[in-house]
Amino acid sequence: MSNIPSRLEQVLSLNKPIKCPYCGGKLFQEATGYFRCHDCNEVTLDDYGKVREFLEQNGPTPYPVISNVTGVKMSTITMLLEHGKLEIPNGSSYYLQCKSCGCSLRYGQYCSSCAKDAFNRNMINVEVIGQKPSQPPKTDLNPEMKGKMHYIGKRR
Ligand SMILES: [Zn+2]
Ligand SMILES: [Zn+2]
């Protein structure tokens, strides 16, 4: 494994808090996405922390909504999913798609069968290997969400 920061790390570092927004004190990373101030003890979140905290408090939420509420870009949320930092729960109405065969994925960029091949050819990082949902996507889609996400099984 190389130490070169992944695209995800580069994107997250753009909005990484450097100083405490409350007192200007020094921050230390307490957990992935969570930064605590040395001086006032307040916690500041980066984009990953914001999304994670939102999901912990609100449960599964369509990601345009997450993006609106947290202010984290849709592209960042997608990248978090593609790198397995977040996952879509089973029984969701939308999933990611394997970049190779197009099957539904809860996270990652490639399903395990396609990944094996690409991984052997050294084309992908192990962190983008995803997992298929145990149930097919639900079809009761909210029409407002259509076209905003990658729906699987959409009939044209
Ligand atoms: Zn502080
Ligand atoms: Zn595949």
Q: How far is the CA of 31 from the centre of ligand 1 (A)?
A: 17
Q: How far is the CA of 130 from the centre of ligand 2 (A)?
A: 9
144 class by beta-carbon count within 10 Å (0-12 exposed, 13-18 middle, 19+ buried): exposed
List, edge to edge, every strand of the sheet that includes 34-37.
Answer: 27-31, 34-37, 43-45
Which ligand neighbours the alpha carbon of 98 most closely?
2
- Write out the residues surrounding ion ligand 2, Cβ under 5 A: 98, 100-101, 111, 114
Per-residue pLDDT tens listing for the chain (156 residues): 445 667 888 889 888 999 999 999 999 999 989 999 999 999 999 999 999 999 889 888 887 899 999 999 999 999 999 999 998 888 887 889 999 899 999 999 999 888 877 667 666 677 788 888 887 777 655 544 443 343 333 333
The pTM for the full model equals: 0.74
Spell out a b/e string for 40-58, using b for 16 or more CB atoms within 10 Å of the CB, else e.
eeebbbbbbbbbbebbeee
DSSP helix/strand/coil, 27: strand
